[in-house]
Amino acid sequence: MATPKKISFNFPKFTPGDANITLQGGAKILDNGILALPDDTSIEQSRALYTTPVPIWDSTTGEVASFVTSFSFIVTDIPNRYPADGLVFFLAPFGTQIPNNSGGGALAIVDPNNAFNRFVAVEFDSYINNECDPSYNHIGIDVNSLISLKTVKWNRVSGSLEKVSIIYDSLAKTLSVAVTHGNGQISTISQVIDLKAVLPEKVSVGFSGTICDGRERHDIFSWSSTSTLA
For 68-123, how does the pLDDT look when each residue is reduced to its tens digit (9 = 90+)?
Answer: 999 999 988 877 765 557 899 999 999 999 988 887 667 788 888 887 889 999 99
**Does 12 fall in a domain?**
no
Residue 10 lies in a domain: no
1 or 138, greater pLDDT: 138
What CATH code is carried by the domain that includes residue 39?
2.60.120.200
In a domain, 30, yes or no: yes
Tell whether 15 is covered by a domain: no
What's the pLDDT score for residue 1?
A: 60
Q: Which of 43-47, 82-86, 199-203 has maximum average pLDDT? A: 199-203
Residue 120 falls within a domain, yes or no?
A: yes
For residues 155-168, give the mean pLDDT: 92
Q: CA-CA distance, 122 to 109, in Å (whole number)? A: 11
Does pTM surpass 0.85? Answer: yes
pLDDT of residue 214: 62
- The verdict on residue 130 lying in a domain is yes
Give residue 39's pLDDT: 61
pLDDT band at 227 (very low <50, low <70, confident <90, very high): very high
Estimate to the nearest angstrom the gap between the alpha carbon of 84 and the chain centroid: 16
Q: With bands split at pLDDT 50, 70 and 90, how would you rate the model's confidence at 217?
A: confident
The Cα 39–Cα 186 span in angstroms is: 27
Mean pLDDT of 130-144: 73
More confident residue, 206 or 129: 206
How many domains in the chain? 1
Structural domain containing residue 77: 20-229
In a domain, 125, yes or no: yes
Question: Around Cβ 167, how many Cβ atoms within 10 Å?
Answer: 15
CA 224 to CA 164: how far, in whole Å?
A: 11
Q: Is 3 inside any structural domain?
A: no
